[in-house]
Amino acid sequence: MDKLEIHGGIPLTGEIRIAGAKNSALPIMASTLLTKDTVKVSNLPHLYDITTMLELLGCMGVESIVGEKLGVEICSEPIKHFNAPYELVKTMRASILVLGPMLAHYGQAQVALPGGCAIGSRPVNLHLTALKKMGADIVVENGYIEAKINGRLKGAHIFMDLVTVTGTENVMMAASLADGVTIIENAAREPEVVDLARCLRAMGAEIKGEGSDTITINGVKRLHGCEYSVMPDRIETGTYLIAVAATRGKIKVKDTRPSILEAVLSKLEEAGAQIEIGEDWISLDMKGKRPQAVSLTTAPYPAFPTDMQAQFTALNAVAEGSGTITETVFENRFMHVHEMIRMGADMKVEGNTVMVNGKQSLKGAPVMATDLRASASLIIAGLVAESQTTVDRIYHIDRGYECIEEKLQLLGAKIKRLPS
């Protein structure tokens, strides 16, 4: 397994460009199952998860032509079967996103039930409850979701017990081809849900209210192809801003969207960062100062995103003062804490909160990544630590961060990949 070797203590400075959003690209790629026409998707990030989604669609017979800069043309017309196999689903939970569109367009779907992962059990019960309410016949047996519908799904009034991003996306896609109107209450408001809605509208879907907690979809008989460019990745953006803040550096992040990062930018300002924003860029300058500790609680958008909790824990580890970080979305998203303690961090988990007492610096050590965002936080810890840190199991990081060592090297980091 590849490792990353980092020599920390260098303030990061420079400019980088942000890639397309993984968590928008994945549902948009799944939505191509809603039409037999070709859908052209551009600004896709170079990530393992994108390749896995292309592999998943391909194994069912869907045709994809990858162009330059990872634009891809996807056509589901040649689809041969409707089975999303466990071998692929187990590597990427977001495979569940093919369920709604496949069921709505082809009347059937067999999707391996995603298992839990490092950050929690992550059930999909709300996806299935909603699709059943739309008339689907769904049985879960032998580790597979067997779904079918004679004719079209029916529009329904659906109240989501919990805010679920991919649950909202699955229902929105299924409802686009249903007979009648579907109202999703307590819908996820994430920008990636909005991006998917915009792509579906470009395919001819009739959707209103995306970005609010109530989304109304008037089902149509068929959807057509379109060309769509994926939004910038707000989590990648925030991760680099936090890394530069932790190392007391200065950065300009380009090809991004400041308006969807308000909760993160305000916490960075609280930590002492000087922030300037433009139409598609953000600059951050610590003026060489040590960050101040902050306290935060994660929650669904527009509150502070759970996908940036681990990164802020790393920032607090070397900040001035103490801060508490509370995780309310997932039940086990503190795996990085124990690894940071091995680097000398002064932090303690109590329930769903980690109390952090900032230290002047950390000590480099061999650490192990457990999930995508925890990996990013350990890299940040390595960038601020004295001497050398090696991060193992970085296949996690390659799922969600495009060319991470190259981008960090552009910012002056001493980081290199050690092949296994």
| Contact residue for ligand EPZ among 78, 115, 123, 143 (CB under 6 A) | 123
CB 9 within 8 A of CB 413: no
Binding mask 22-41 for ligand EPZ (x = CB under 6 A): -x--x---------------
Question: Should residue 329 be labelled a site residue for ligand EPZ when binding is judged by CB under 6 A?
Answer: yes
Question: Should residue 115 be labelled a site residue for ligand EPZ when binding is judged by CB under 6 A?
Answer: no
Is the previous residue joined to 85 through a cis bond, with omega within 30 degrees of 0? no
Which residue among the candidates 59, 75, 117, 403 is catalytic per the annotation? 117
Question: Should residue 170 be labelled a site residue for ligand EPZ when binding is judged by CB under 6 A?
Answer: no
CB 261 within 8 A of CB 233: no
List CB contacts of 210: < 8 A, sequence separation 6 or more: 172, 193, 194, 196, 197, 198
Question: Should residue 257 be labelled a site residue for ligand EPZ when binding is judged by CB under 6 A?
Answer: no
Closest to ligand EPZ by CB, 286 vs 374, is: 374
Question: Should residue 347 be labelled a site residue for ligand EPZ when binding is judged by CB under 6 A?
Answer: no
Structure tokens at 241: 């801003």
- For residue 306, the 8-state DSSP code is G
Determine the number of helices (DSSP H) and then strands (DSSP E) in the chain.
14, 24
Structure tokens at 114: 């995603």
Number of residues forming the site for ligand EPZ (CB under 6 A): 23
Taking the C-alpha atoms of residue 200 and residue 56, their distance in angstroms, rounded to an integer, is 20
Is the previous residue joined to 302 through a cis bond, with omega within 30 degrees of 0? yes
Active site residue 403: no
Q: Which of these segments, 50-58, 118-126, 241-249, 345-353, binds ligand EPZ (CB under 6 A)? A: 118-126
Binding mask 384-403 for ligand EPZ (x = CB under 6 A): ----------------x---
Structure tokens at 258: 């400041």
Q: Which of these segments, 54-62, 134-142, 160-168, 263-271, binds ligand EPZ (CB under 6 A)? A: 160-168
Residues with active-site annotation: 117
Site residues (vs ligand EPZ, CB under 6 A) = 23, 26, 94, 120, 122-127, 162, 164-167, 192, 306-307, 329-330, 372-373, 400
